[in-house]
Amino acid sequence: MYTEKLTSVKHPFEPVVDKNSRILILGSFPSVKSRENMFYYGHPQNRFWRMLADIVKADVPQTIEDKKNLILSNGFALWDTLAMCEIHASADSSIRHEVPNDIPGLVKQYGIEAIMFNGNAAYRYFEKYYGKDDGLEGIIKKALPSTSPANAACSYERLVGEWGSAVNELKEKILKEKRY
């Protein structure tokens, strides 16, 4: 049982998605730094933005607008599994009394074809709330290593390799089925 003081926090920002989004990238819940910066993956040591830019062969985005453009111009959407929770600092392991986001609603509204999970916590919470009968039959789901600085055991090269392979594989499958 987690013994540190927990704070009740509501997710502070909207999903990044548009009508061209086909692959949804889901995190668990924004870190303290992300909440302070008012955007996803805001911790300076989080490798998400650099990794994604390397995979799609783009410049590393610096502003929130650049980050949104990187996501949307490459057919991605970006959100988190949880809408609200009690949490200590940024520790996913401390999360309690969580409330999920309406992921099936977003997927259906925008025609999302695949979901990539940024780390085990995002996948675990998705499975807890939508894994049994999620109404998302036919949606490809892929859990990937977390880009968080807390996952320092995973090298940057491994992140780029695994995420890059997953992106290419998912885009290929979607194209093959003429869904991309």
Condensed to tens digits (0 to 9), the pLDDT of residues 69-124 reads: 999 999 999 999 999 988 787 777 777 889 999 999 999 999 999 999 999 999 99
Domain boundaries, the chain: 16-79+101-176
The residues facing 140 across adjacent strands are 114
Question: Could you tell me which of 24, 140, 127, 137 has the C-alpha nearest to residue 72?
Answer: 24
Q: What confidence score (pLDDT) does residue 178 get? A: 62
**CB of 151 within 8 A of CB of 137?**
no
Handedness of CA 113, 118, 120, 122 (dihedral sign): negative
Which of the residues are catalytic? 46
The pLDDT of residue 1 is above 60: no
Question: How many residues belong to the chain?
Answer: 180
pLDDT score of 19: 97
Task: Give me the mean pLDDT over the 133-157 stretch.
Answer: 91
What are the residues whose beta carbons fall under 8 Å from the beta carbon of 159, sequence distance 6 or more?
Answer: 47, 51, 145, 147
Classify domain 16-79+101-176 by CATH architecture.
3-Layer(aba) Sandwich (3.40)
Average pLDDT of the chain to the nearest whole number:
92
Q: 13, 10, 34, 19: which is closest to 111 by C-alpha?
A: 19
- Residue 43's pLDDT band, with cuts at 50, 70 and 90, is very high
Here the tokens at position 115 are 């979901």
